[in-house]
A and B are shown apart, each in its own frame.
Chain A
Amino acid sequence: GMRVEEHDEL
């Protein structure tokens, strides 16, 4: 799944 480090969106 997605990790918080990959949340490049605002």
Chain B
Amino acid sequence: MNVFRLTGDLSHLAAIIILLLKIWKTRSCAGISGKSQILFALVFTTRYLDLLTSFISLYNTSMKVIYIGCSYATVYLIYMKFRATYDGNHDSFRVEFLVVPVGGLAVLINHDFSPLEILWTFSIYLESVAILPQLFMISKTGEAETITTHYLFCLGLYRALYLFNWIWRYYFEGFFDMIAIVAGVVQTVLYCD
């Protein structure tokens, strides 16, 4: 654990909570892509299956549980509780164009051909492009609300801080994970937009 990793995790947590609170306080999910939020729930579900198989630390377990819980709560607010405010007409990105190629890539390029490892790889690839429905929606409607911009900034900052974390870990621990790094660079570039 280094300072970039910790601030990256906290920035990620801040992004998730900003979005959840925004929807809760305004009682509206206008301008938010439900499809991106479903993809993020899928990302966390497929990545954190190791909750069932291995224990790393209390920090690790609690953050994973919080991320999964918040992402499902967000999906629930958008599609159930405040679905009257959900702007489905503008949320028209075809997610199968992301999920199918990403699934194929995860089967082809992974560290180990085992179910859990392929699902972890799938989640890494999917996370890097999961924001595209949200960016597509903003491009269709024109402007994003200020809070949505804060949400996107925190999410982008999180991945940028992880890049610094990987540089740190490469120099000080010899740690190097090509799949995470390439996907992380792609993801950071998308958020720079």
- Is the CB–CB distance between A10 and B54 below 8 Å? no
- Is the CB–CB distance between B177 and A10 below 8 Å? no
- Is the CB–CB distance between B177 and A2 below 8 Å? yes
Contact sample, A vs B, 21 pairs, CB 8 Å cutoff: A2-B111, A2-B177, A2-B179, A3-B111, A3-B112, A3-B117, A4-B50, A4-B53, A4-B54, A4-B116, A4-B117, A5-B50, A5-B54, A7-B47, A7-B120, A9-B165, A9-B180, A10-B9, A10-B60, A10-B63, A10-B64
Residue of B nearest to A3 (CB): B112
Number of interchain pairs (Cβ within 8 Å): 36
CB-CB under 8 A from B179, the residues of chain A are: 2
Interface size bucket, B side?
20 to 34
Which B residues form the contact surface with A (CB < 8 A)? 5, 9, 12, 47, 50, 53-54, 56-57, 60, 63-64, 67, 111-112, 114, 116-117, 120, 162, 165, 177, 179-180
A5 smallest CB distance to B (angstroms) = 5
- Is the CB–CB distance between A8 and B56 below 8 Å? yes
Please give me the 3 A-B residue pairs with the lowest Cβ-Cβ distance, nearest first: A1-B111, A2-B111, A4-B116
Residue of A nearest to B165 (CB): A9
**How many residues of chain A have a CB within 8 Å of chain B?**
9
CB-CB under 8 A from A3, the residues of chain B are: 111-112, 117
CB-CB under 8 A from B47, the residues of chain A are: 7
Q: A2-B111, A3-B111, A9-B5 are in contact. List 11 more A-B contacts (CB 8 A).
A: A1-B111, A2-B177, A3-B117, A4-B112, A4-B114, A4-B117, A5-B50, A5-B53, A10-B9, A10-B12, A10-B63
Bound CA span A3–B177, Å: 11
CB-CB under 8 A from B180, the residues of chain A are: 9
A7 smallest CB distance to B (angstroms) = 6
Residue among A1, A2, A10 with the most chain B CB within 10 A? A10
